[in-house]
Amino acid sequence: MRVSEDRALLARVLSPFAIVFASLFLLAGPSAFAQDDSDSDDTDDVVAEEDEVVDEVVVTGSRLKRDTYSSISPLQVITGQISREVGLIDAGDILQESTASSGQQIDLTFQGFVLDNGPGATTANLRGLGEARTLVLLNGRRLAPAGVEGAPFAANLAQVPASMVQQYDILLDGASSVYGSDAVAGVANVILRKDFDGLEIEDYSRVPEHGGGIDHTLSAVWGKNWDRGFVGFGAEYTESERVSLEDRPWTAGCDKHYEIDENGDFRTQEVWFSDILGARWDECRLGRTAGRFQVNGGRGGSLYYTGPGSSNGGWGDFSSLRPRTDIQSYTDSDGDGFADVSLRDFDRNGKSYSQSSDLFPETSSYSLMAYGEYTFDGEANITPYFEAMYNDFKFESRGRPPQLFPWVPPLNPDSPCNTISNPNGYDCGLAFDEFLENPAVIQQYLDTFGCDPSATGDCPQAGGALGPTYTRPIVGVVGDRDNTKTSGDQLRVVGGLRGDMPFMNFGSLDNWSFDIYGSFTESSAISERRGIREDRLDLAVGTYSLTNTPCGMDDPNAAGLRSGLTLADLQDDVIPGCVPVNLFAPSLYENGYLGDFATQAERDYVFDGRNFDTKYEQTIISAYITGDIFELPAGAVAFGFGAEHRNDDIASIPDAVAREGLFFGFFSDGGATGEKDTDELFAEIELPLLAGVKGFEELTLNMSTRYTDDEIYGSNNTESFKLGWRPVESLLIRGTFGTSFRAPNLRELYLQAQSGFGGIFDECFNDDDSWTIGVGYNAAGDDREPQVLANCLAQGVDPTLAYSNGFQSFSTEVASGGALDLEAETSESWSAGFAFEQPWTNAFDLSLSATYYEIEVNQTIIEPSGQFIVNDCLNSLTGNSVFCSRITRDLSDPMNPRITLIDSGFINREAEKARGVDVNVAFNDTFTVFERPIDLTWDITANRQLERSTLFLDDDGNADIDTFQGEWGFPDWSLRSGLRFDYDDWRFTWETRYLSSVNQDPDGVDAFSSGFIASDTCFGPPDDVLCRDYGETDNYFINHISVYYYGDMWTVGGGIRNAFDKNPPIVDGTEVLALNNTPIGYGYDVNGRTFFLNVGVNFGGGE
């Protein structure tokens, strides 16, 4: 029975070759027999041919041996040497600057974000199709995922030993049938050097002009080459200084409004606060303010700390900005022309502690590498080989402390609104009524509504006593949730055996060899954060006490207002050592935007660590044989067949603080635990159909297939067909077609609940047009679609009652997680192009290639955004969107039915597509200056993006098509031009990198408006024009130059990256992902002019 199953399996794997074998064997048979006859007649010729030693190589994109580096597959090669000459040494930087990379590129500027691979990771993203569809190889073998927190799934490029790299081969067509299922968008193959010559020591240093960010890479390499093999050892240490926002002129200062008006002029000055509301202001955007508290019921809005005994109402040390949000002025009690409360004093944006947060973090790593091979005497050329790599890394980033805003129960002894157990307390209802007696407030009402709100006025607004009530302090605490430390290591061991198979050389079979190897990788990492525990804070302010006594536990029905935790839910480390915490201590408010607890004991109790331990293991066993199976008139037919077993195992274990999300307002992360086995069979054949015939100097067909049996998702086949045609020797016309099957990875399968916070626009809430203060819902001003109103009702929300001062966007927790019911992705890709080398003159060399590519992925696995889920639910025409069940709301208050959680777990989407053209030009010439020969080399690599789109069909069958080409991360054109002049041992290099202009998604472009409506920097007619946020940029050029000396012993080089100190684009941060108006992750240099120096010495001794 098992024999029958094996035969059936082999038949499936080899099915694409069946017809080819059947038809070609008739052609090959006579040729093979004729070859046998000629061998016996022309012995001398055969002996002469055997005496010639031909080095055989394996080119990225194929597993077959060949005697040239030519490839039908489109391939982009970036050498480590040329990268150094333009100031790049890190593998992540090199691959992310390739023209084949597009979309959001995750680098070290991404701090404070919930990242798929965790903090400190750098990943590859070819064609903008995502890291999950980009395969990274090291010496042609998989580089295992590495990261921390959640469920890492991609290789961390920061762990590649940069000083050992010879070149980066980027395969630009789908290669699933050759390398495995996740090579959908392409393959990045990092090839280590083998050309050792004794001991080499090298230092590579970069020093930014603007300060901070100095990095050094110090390496020592020793190796020996001999005719039967080589061995190499390397050690590398890298460290990078942190760069703060204030270290760079484009991120220093603060986050500003950046708007364009109808005349095309740019504006940054806020007019709403400074001119309309009369507040002291500057160019900084209003960020998250602190140093204030709010009263349950909203009377007085936020109350800001204005100093001991200073209040414009009855709040003691606090004052209100204005009595109502629809009054377009701030209260000015002393008549000095400025508001009683200056929001800029309480805004963290632009403050020193905010500016000292990181643009680039502090990192360090060291790597040890050893690899080699040795070929034994004998006909079989048995060659054992090995690779061993160890990398240890550390990463530390510093961000901005977020707000702390817990609810404090009414009878808390420190609450200012508690008149029962706080001797200094006051009734916050009466305090607001006192505010209404303020002459400045009365005048505000008269100016806006034409009436007097005081107790004796014609529209009294007093609400009377509130009694003790809930309050919500909003403060910032030093060291709270603003620091991340990550450390880890990766061990990778490869051991293999390859050799020839002379016993297979009979009949038409020839040149057979085998390659068997096993590899094991273990990636381990831990992350540490410090922050305030919400459960401890609840206990410390009296949430669990009937009398609201801090640390009291006599109320069995109490639960944390935000966390929902009851006494029974509390962790064992919450109750012991509880210390009462005063959230109204002046030390938390005096500085406005950042403070600290009154005592060290309070701080020691509420602060805790959040720790994560992640381990990823990958084991691979692979066997492959290849050789020539028969001769065609045009040459030998090469064939290869192999099998591979892979086990992936993840154990990403959070502590209780991370798992339960116990930090205040911080994301929870359940980690991931699971494993799966993947078994694959693969085969490849290359057929030289014609050669040396007029019009067909070469016609070669390459076919490959792979059978994948995934433990979770079953089996499937992938195929690839590649055709290369040379009508003349100088012109290669090529085409490829391939399919892929990508089963969900361990993250997509096993990720437990992982959450983050993001702004969500919720149309169930009324805006100011559909709501009249003092009246309520205004149907005449409601422009929401009928299906939106109906779907809100279906969610349990009355859209005529929900109102939050006109706001419709709220910070909302969005949770994601793995799913075992996902479908596997499939894809089809094809490419067509040519490569031409000018044949007319030997005076210069000129080559040109262009390749059109198209990749379409079906049933793509995605994490839908929280906004996508809400939009799909509320806009469904039938009211039965499957996404509505992913939305959780707090319906306890009909006026405030906020979304508390959105489940954005993985789903399958219909399709994604990438389409474009790659262009490569290479020119080489030698000319003479003052009788000195100078070699000129000019290389141009470019990509023209034609399409990058996604397709999703909702439950009503409506197509949602998003296109991204020409938008951020997907410029129409990206180009790199490298010009090199070589004279004797000297080289001068000039590289220019170009990104064409990009725009926002048209649906996201704001309409022109005034500061009274949606913009911030224009008054609007009749005295001014209209404005809108700006999220575009013009063409971008950046230049790098260097001079290198390559001597027999010494290599000395230096240069300047970003030689003209080109600034990155400026955008409005509400439109484009940015830090202080500077876009990140889109390929723009945010470091500025950087000097680099490279010194290496070769002591020899490798012979």
Q: What is the SS3 assignment for 601-652? A: HHHHHHEEEEEEEEEEEEEEEEEEEEEEEEEECCEEEEEEEEEEEEEEEEEE
Query: 811: pLDDT confidence band, cut at 50, 70 and 90?
Result: confident
Please state the length of the chain: 1103
Q: Does position 52 have pLDDT exceeding 70, yes or no? A: no
Q: Is the peptide bond before 30 cis (omega within 30 degrees of 0)?
A: no
Least confident of 484-488, 566-570, 697-701: 566-570
- Cα dihedral 237→188→517→197 (10° resolution): -50
Q: Does position 109 have pLDDT exceeding 80, yes or no? A: no
- Average pLDDT value for residue range 850-875: 91
Domain positions in the chain are: 270-349+402-476, 530-606
Query: 687: pLDDT confidence band, cut at 50, 70 and 90?
Result: very high
Residues 1008, 1011, 1012, 1014, CA torsion sign: positive
* pLDDT top residue among 992 and 779: 992
Whole-number Å distance between alpha carbons of 158 and 361: 13
Q: Does position 116 have pLDDT exceeding 60, yes or no? A: yes
848 - beta bridge partners? 836, 921
Least confident of 53-62, 241-250, 788-797: 53-62
Whole-number Å distance between alpha carbons of 480 and 402: 7
For helices 786-794 and 866-874, the axis angle rounded to 10 degrees is 100
Give the long-range contacts of residues 456-462, CB within 8 A, separation 24 or more: 460/436, 461/323, 461/436, 462/432, 462/433, 462/436
Query: 277: pLDDT confidence band, cut at 50, 70 and 90?
Result: low
Q: Does position 680 have pLDDT exceeding 80, yes or no? A: yes
Q: Which residues contact 841 (CB under 8 A, 6 or more apart)?
A: none
Strands annotated E in 711-777: 714-728, 731-742, 754-761, 771-772, 776-777
DSSP state of 117: T
CB contact at 8 A, 974 and 996:
yes
Strands annotated E in 140-291: 141-142, 165-171, 186-192, 198-208, 215-226, 229-240, 243-244, 259-261, 266-267
CB contact at 8 A, 210 and 1088:
yes
Query: 276: pLDDT confidence band, cut at 50, 70 and 90?
Result: low
| Residue 680 in tokens | 């694959």
CA distance to 168, 171, 551, 912, per residue, from 828 (Å): 25, 16, 62, 11
- Average pLDDT value for residue range 42-53: 36
- Average pLDDT value for residue range 3-30: 43
Q: Which residues contact 668 (CB under 8 A, 6 or more apart)?
A: 658, 659, 660, 661, 753, 754, 755, 815
The pLDDT value recorded for residue 66 is 66
Whole-number Å distance between alpha carbons of 290 and 88: 42
Q: Does position 1102 have pLDDT exceeding 70, yes or no? A: no
Query: 274: pLDDT confidence band, cut at 50, 70 and 90?
Result: confident
Least confident of 172-186, 303-317, 433-447, 859-873: 172-186
Q: Does position 521 have pLDDT exceeding 90, yes or no? A: yes
Q: Taking the mean position of all CA atoms in its chain, how far away is CA 786?
A: 38
Query: 684: pLDDT confidence band, cut at 50, 70 and 90?
Result: very high
Whole-number Å distance between alpha carbons of 179 and 137: 9
The pLDDT value recorded for residue 30 is 39
- Average pLDDT value for residue range 1068-1080: 92
The pLDDT value recorded for residue 56 is 59
Give pLDDT tens digits for 724-774. Answer: 999 999 999 999 999 998 999 999 999 987 777 778 889 999 887 788 766
Q: Does position 694 have pLDDT exceeding 90, yes or no? A: yes
For 537, phi then psi, to 5°, come to -65, -40
| Residue 834 in tokens | 């040519």
The pLDDT value recorded for residue 278 is 66
HEC per residue, 498-562 = EEECHHHCCCCCEEEEEEEEEEEEEEEEEEEEEEEEHHHHHHHCCCCCCCCCCCCCCCCCCECCC
Query: 479: pLDDT confidence band, cut at 50, 70 and 90?
Result: very high
The pLDDT value recorded for residue 194 is 87
Whole-number Å distance between alpha carbons of 199 and 936: 31
| Residue 1063 in tokens | 């600034």
Whole-number Å distance between alpha carbons of 686 and 702: 4
**pLDDT above 90 covers what percent of the chain?**
63
Whole-number Å distance between alpha carbons of 653 and 611: 9
**Closest C-alpha among 751, 755, 1070 to residue 900:** 755
- Average pLDDT value for residue range 44-53: 35
Least confident of 14-18, 442-446, 466-470, 625-629: 14-18
- Average pLDDT value for residue range 70-91: 89
Whole-number Å distance between alpha carbons of 326 and 59: 69
Query: 54: pLDDT confidence band, cut at 50, 70 and 90?
Result: very low
CA atoms within 13 A on the CB side of 765: 22
Give pLDDT tens digits for 155-178. Answer: 999 889 988 999 999 988 877 788
Residues 1083, 1086, 1091, 1096, CA torsion sign: negative
Query: 9: pLDDT confidence band, cut at 50, 70 and 90?
Result: very low
Whole-number Å distance between alpha carbons of 607 and 401: 13
CA distance to 279, 342, 449, 656, per residue, from 1011 (Å): 15, 19, 21, 46
Q: Taking the mean position of all CA atoms in its chain, how far away is CA 866?
A: 17
> How much is the mean pLDDT over the chain?
88
The order of strands in the sheet holding 75-79 is 75-79, 165-171, 186-192, 134-138, 141-142
**Closest C-alpha among 215, 237, 480, 210 to residue 366:** 237
Helix, strand, coil percent values for the chain (each to nearest 5): 15, 40, 40
The DSSP bridge pattern shows strands 362-374 and 383-398 to be antiparallel
Q: Does position 115 have pLDDT exceeding 50, yes or no? A: yes
CB contact at 8 A, 806 and 769:
no
The pLDDT value recorded for residue 773 is 63
Q: Does position 3 have pLDDT exceeding 60, yes or no? A: no
Q: Give the amino acid at 187.
A: V
Query: 55: pLDDT confidence band, cut at 50, 70 and 90?
Result: low
Query: 818: pLDDT confidence band, cut at 50, 70 and 90?
Result: confident
Q: Residue 473, exposed/middle/buried by CB under 10 A (0-12, 13-18, 19+)?
A: buried
Whole-number Å distance between alpha carbons of 805 and 784: 17
**Closest C-alpha among 762, 781, 999 to residue 873:** 762
363 - beta bridge partners? 240, 395
- Average pLDDT value for residue range 76-102: 92
Q: Does position 496 have pLDDT exceeding 90, yes or no? A: yes
CA distance to 10, 337, 520, 769, per residue, from 680 (Å): 11, 76, 17, 61
| Residue 812 in tokens | 């909302």
- Cα dihedral 160→163→164→165 (10° resolution): 70
The pLDDT value recorded for residue 36 is 39
Whole-number Å distance between alpha carbons of 796 and 951: 30
Query: 912: pLDDT confidence band, cut at 50, 70 and 90?
Result: very high
pTM across the whole model: 0.88
DSSP 270-292: --IIIIIS-----SBPP--B-SE
**Closest C-alpha among 502, 552, 479, 470 to residue 298:** 470
Measured from the Cβ of residue 83, the count of other Cβ atoms closer than 10 Å reads 22
